[in-house]
A and B are shown apart, each in its own frame.
Chain A
């Protein structure tokens, strides 16, 4: 069963995302009260109010003047600002159409992009979208308007993955389009020249962007849980390989593992937050896990 893109605009989906934010906040606050900063809160903040100091609060946020007057410790609270840019770089190359479990990586990535856009727009952050394959195919500049989500959803809904990815070409174009400092979320399977991808990351990092990589996998691509004689087709190149799946699984997993480790190391060196997801991971749960993890890191 193929993935239905209409899920992206279904009220149930966004309802789950709203709950997601609440749940994330609840989990984090219950976990480590006083240190919480919403994943999208704190990137750029404006004073909102004071509250009484609690153990664990950052001393930098203590209002010392008020302490001098009141002889009590108060910390300053900030509201999120709306001038933060979130760039969603969604890979729409042919390889993203792999869908062994019904949901393609592109569908999954699109849903994820929609979710992120929704969350960011709720915080009044500007959200932009760049669709790329061998080059930048579509571009929505970041805006914080409420109907920006609809624009994004429309752009995603029109995706037809057919092209070969060319990171060496697409990433510079995308970097040019990310002209304001912000958060760049890359949603891709990275099935391209790894050096070119890393150069793209370097360029984004050079532009002071925070880069988050959602590394998307199809379960068959990652684990090759197959047995028997298979004719494997490369979606992008049309290349065909005929082999016995179980006979090469160990070597395949080792090779995939080696590649993942290499990607992980390269991302870590560049302070790129890499999140690995497979299309059978529940989207909301995966996003929740990531947001919690990210919140803890602040």
Chain B
């Protein structure tokens, strides 16, 4: 048992009042003389035991009445109104996906959810530990775990007051709905919760598209699920669910198209939905308009052909100019970059007048080709060759520097390259005859080495082959399926033996634990060493069909192409690596432009039934399932005036009244 108004317990000091009254008044009896006290004595002796009991009973009743009065004002409530009395854990998941922006009576669904959770907190028993999280495509705990809590699997108890103070509806929601992630988080929290009743409250609109994400392990058996429905039955929504640019990074004065898909989620067909594309690049503007008719529940695509774009970054939106219930999905952000491809500087340590004899011949040729399978025929790289010993030009315009069998690099050049790497560029080093410990001191001094060169390993009976590689690394992720290209088939005759330095990562190895690919992160960029050569001197892999894709992967990784290129599109759904507060828009970074759009799934406002939801995630629903959450009242209830679940002051009031009645009866029948 605990109390809401603990300060009123000070009134228990009033317990002294009956005692004081008794002590004070017992000193003031009226004096009466009688001829004999024999009758009184008989009566008092006869009732002595009864009177003593009654006196104590009377005192106890009076003290109890005073105590009850004090307790009454202190508003006691049961720590646990369940019979077990154990600490209860309640996990609250609040859907803050984009669809929760739908308004009902002028109030957003997410606001209604937050108000309802406030009500839940207000009524909660004191022994209830709450874990609250907003979720869309990510789970955002209201109180982030403190350092160390996550590792220990323990969470500090956060007071209801603190939670209530932090629980504020987000200003706007853009994310997709991923019930799976949210329930996975809830399952983890509930599994680690201390013994006792466990509850799960989900405040959501039951958006059907949210069901289709990852599989979720079933919640513990004893978890009672409370589902709170905030959805709307009928939604009039026309949305741009896709604005796909055929080539978001193109060459200046090239032409491309944008494929726009419009979805009509409303109950009626939408005729002549106006679509507008608005792009700007510095002072230049481009605007295209189109109209489309979309049937109810259907999607229609429109292709917007852009004129040749001048060099520069073109940013803007594709939008449907209509009014509906969910305005935030009426537009999607687009960005196009008209610029040259990645600039790659190839420094050849074995330059030769005959291009065939130089060590970068095959590399240069491969980089100038588009990788197989790409619609666009042009290569994303524009290599430039210089011979080792030549002055390295200004590297500001370069994205990657490739050293091929380069030794004796000057310290100044090494520092230039270091500067490039620290700014986010890449250095790729192919070994060769010139790459020895003695000849790479400048690189080592500049911190561009990945380890200690201990010599050269030549193949004897069998060629050197990739024994293992990090399939999750972006370089090798494309080769995860051997049918697409088995890296183990590449053969090398010689490789430089490098003992990886601390901080360096071996991405691939030849047989015999001979490092093949070693990476080291420096600043914003990285240095990658390949311990064999990029030409035919140390192997015949240049003739393999994997040569071109592998070197494209090598340099694509270092240039940022594998991370998305110059223009990267992200959708706020699924496990994206975006800041938690990311919002739709087009944002310029140092080496790329990021375009963020809300999840197109959120435009599909179809709702699942509670049964579907429960069956999908194996929940154990309660009688309170699908409680309709009312709109936020205009005037919030005054803090502290609402009744907390488990309060029993009204019972105390009844006991007090009964106690007063009994006290009156006992007092009239009790003699001193």
Using CB atoms and an 8 Å cutoff, list the residues of chain A in contact with chain B. Answer: 94-98, 100, 105, 189, 191, 218, 220-221, 226, 228-237, 239, 241-244, 246-248, 251-252, 255-256, 259
State the Cβ distance, B668 to closest chain A Cβ, in Å. 7
Tell me the smallest distance from the CB of A98 to a CB of chain B, in Å: 4
CA distance A220 to B39 in the complex (A): 12
- Which 4 pairs between the two chains have the least Cβ-Cβ distance? A247-B671, A95-B35, A251-B43, A191-B36
Chain B residues 13-66 with CB under 8 Å of chain A are: 25-26, 28-44, 46-47, 51
* Given known contacts A242-B29, A243-B672, A248 and B40 CB-to-CB distance under 8 angstroms: yes
Bound-state CA distance A215–B30 (Å) is 28
Other contacts beyond A221-B34, A233-B37, A234-B34: 9, CB < 8 A: A96-B35, A189-B36, A230-B30, A230-B32, A232-B32, A236-B35, A247-B51, A247-B672, A259-B39
Q: Which of B26, B30, B32, B38 has the most CB of A within 10 A?
A: B32
Closest approach, in angstroms, between the C-beta of A260 and any C-beta of chain B? 10
Contact partner, A228, options B30, B37, B38, B51, Cβ 8 Å: B30
Residue of A whose beta carbon sits closest to that of B37:
A234
Can you list 12 A-B contacts (CB < 8 A)? A229-B30, A230-B29, A230-B30, A230-B31, A231-B29, A231-B30, A241-B40, A242-B26, A242-B29, A243-B672, A247-B671, A248-B40
Q: Residue B44 contacts which of A95, A236, A237, A241 (CB distance < 8 angstroms)?
A: A241
Q: State how many residues of chain B have any CB contact under 8 Å with chain A.
A: 27
CA distance A228 to B38 in the complex (A): 20
Which B residues are CB-close (under 8 A) to A243? 40, 44, 671-672
CB closest chain-A residue, reference B42: A255
B55 to chain A, nearest CB (A): 10
CB distance from B210 to the nearest CB of A (A): 75
Asked whether, in the complex, the Cβ of B672 is within 8 Å of the Cβ of A252, the reply is no
B28, B30, B671 pick with most chain A CB within 10 angstroms:
B671
Q: A221-B34, A235-B35 are in contact. Are A229 and B672 (CB under 8 A)?
A: yes
- For B25, list chain A residues within 8 Å (CB): 229
Asked if B208 is an interface residue, CB under 8 A from chain A, the answer is no
- B36 lies within 8 A of A236 (CB): yes
Residues in chain A near residue B668, CB distance under 8 A = 246-247
Among B36, B38, B46, B671, chain A packs the most CB atoms within 10 A around the CB of B36
Partner of B32, one of A97, A220, A252: A220
Q: Does B543 contact A (CB under 8 A)?
A: no
Q: How many angstroms from the CA of A255 to the CA of B43 in the assembled complex?
A: 7
The closest CB in chain A to the CB of B26 belongs to A229
Which chain B positions have C-beta within 8 A of A241? 37, 40-41, 44
Shortest Cβ gap from B664 to chain A (Å): 13
B671 touches A248 (CB 8 A): yes
Residues from chain B with a CB closer than 8 A to the CB of A256 are 39
Which of A235, A246, A255 is the one whose CB lies under 8 Å from B34?
A235
Q: Contact between A191 and B38 (Cβ–Cβ < 8 Å)?
A: yes
For B670, what are the chain A residues with a Cβ–Cβ distance below 8 Å?
244, 247
Question: Counting CB contacts under 8 A, is B669 at the interface?
Answer: yes
Least CB separation from A257: chain B residue: B39
**B40 with A221: CB separation less than 8 A:** no
In the assembly, what is the distance between CA of A94 and CA of B34, in Å? Answer: 10
In the bound complex, what is the Cα–Cα distance between A235 and B35 (angstroms)? Answer: 5
- Given A248-B40, A256-B39, A259-B39, A233 contacting B34 (CB threshold 8 A): yes
Q: In the bound complex, how far is the Cα of B668 from the Cα of A105, in angstroms?
A: 32
Minimum CB–CB distance from A162 to chain B (whole Å) comes to 14
Residues of A within 8 A of B30 (CB): 228-231
Contacts of B29 in A (CB 8 A): 228-231, 242
Complex-state Cα separation, A31 to B153, whole angstroms: 112
A229 touches B28 (CB 8 A): yes
Instruction: Report yes or no: B35 in contact with A191, Cβ–Cβ below 8 A.
Output: yes
- Give the residues in chain B near A229, CB-CB below 8 Å: 25-26, 28-30, 672
Closest chain B residue to A250 by CB distance? Answer: B43
